[in-house]
Amino acid sequence: MYSLRFQLLFSIVAAATGTVVAASLFNSTPLFSAALFIFSIIFSYGVLYFFVVKPFRKIASLVESQKTKETAQRVVIETSDEFLRLSDTLNTIFDSFRSDISRMKKLEHVRTEFLGNVSHELRTPIFSTQGLLETLLSGAIDDKKVNKDFVQKALNNTERLNSLLGELIDISRIESGEMKLRFRFFDIVLFLQNIVQEMQIPASQRKIQLKLDGDVSKQIDVYGDKDRLQQVIVNLIDNAIKYSEPNDMIAVHFVEKKDRVEVSVEDTGIGIAPQHLPRIFERFYRVDRDRSREMGGTGLGLAIVKHIVEAHDAEIKVTSDVGVGSKFTFWVNKQV
């Protein structure tokens, strides 16, 4: 394929040659000379039109379609090397443009849904607390049979609000990149032992057995943000406790691999139905809304867990069977 420079030069040479030849023959054959001159001009214009003007019009049409937000077609112009490269570049730019528009629409939908969910989640405990306080002020505060219970419920609602706002701040900082992780090496065996020991109290309160399963005889150093990984594991254990029944069992497994340590939290609880599994890491998504609210869940915990795990260049997976239990698995790298 010829370059645009060659085509322009060819058009100029053709017009100039035709003009010179026509001028030299004008005295002997004026009609032929005039026809040759007109032909050379038309031929030169034709070259410019088909190889320069027409491609430019096609490009202008493509740009205009983007301006009016019409669906743009991919354009391929092969009249010259320069136009071919230009069409490839434009296709790449507009593909990216359409992708950005699609992403922005999706983000707008997510933002609208998120604001609606936040409003709903905040409204519920606020209205509940307001109703309790109004009832107390209307005379129930003097009724010893209900006043303490009402105050306790109001306190529970304020704790739920505090938890919700804290997790909203966390997920906002994570998604905006403001939350900086502090990576360092630490012994994951001792780390897991301490967490399991701390979570024994809430587990025993619901008569649930919690144990650590793995080789605890040696030290295994991993690289990650210790505080954030603790938040991940505590959240997974806490969820397992909430969705388990008395006498069920929760096991925290860890297995050392060549370059990482796989950690999983497995329970013998109520399990998760297959239709819910693809969405459980979405913000505010709850499998059992009534039970989650009763247990003080905000619907943000697993979304935060997913963000933290992915920030460690890892992935979290879940398997579950209704009535059998659930298993959440992720890994922590052993090297930088």
Between 3.30.565.10, 2.40.30.10, 2.20.25.650, 3.90.1150.10, what CATH number should domain 184-333 receive?
3.30.565.10
Say which amino acid occupies 177: G
Would you list the DSSP string of 246-280? TT-EEEEEEEE-SSEEEEEEEE-SS---GGGGGGT
Residues (pLDDT < 50) of the chain are none
Q: How far apart are CA 189 and CA 191, in angstroms?
A: 5
State both tokens at 235.
Answer: 């959240």
Going by DSSP bridges, is the β-strand pair 260-267/325-333 parallel, antiparallel, or unpaired?
Answer: antiparallel
Q: What is the pLDDT of residue 73?
A: 62
Q: Domain ranges in the chain? A: 4-73, 114-176, 184-333
H or E stretch at 333:
strand 325-333
User: Rounded to 5 degrees, what are φ and ψ at 252?
Assistant: -100, 110
pLDDT at position 174 = 77
CA triple 244-246-247, angle to 5 deg? 105
β 209-213/249-256 pair status: parallel
Contact 240, 265 (CB under 8 A): yes
- Residue in the structure block whose two tokens are 């096609």: 58
Nearest to 149 by CA among 141, 161, 139, 137: 141
Residue 143: phi, psi to the nearest 5? -90, 105
User: How high is the pLDDT of residue 294?
Assistant: 54
pLDDT, tens digit (0-9, with 9 covering 90-100), for 229-248: 999 999 999 999 988 999 99
Class at the top of the CATH hierarchy for domain 114-176: mainly alpha
- CB environment 117-128: b (16+ within 10 A), e (fewer): bbeebeeebeee
| pLDDT of res. 46 | 80
Structure token digits, residue 241: 């406790």
Q: Which of these, 303, 261, 39, lies nearest to 175 by C-alpha position? A: 303
Residue pair 88/12 in contact (Cβ under 8 Å)? The answer is no
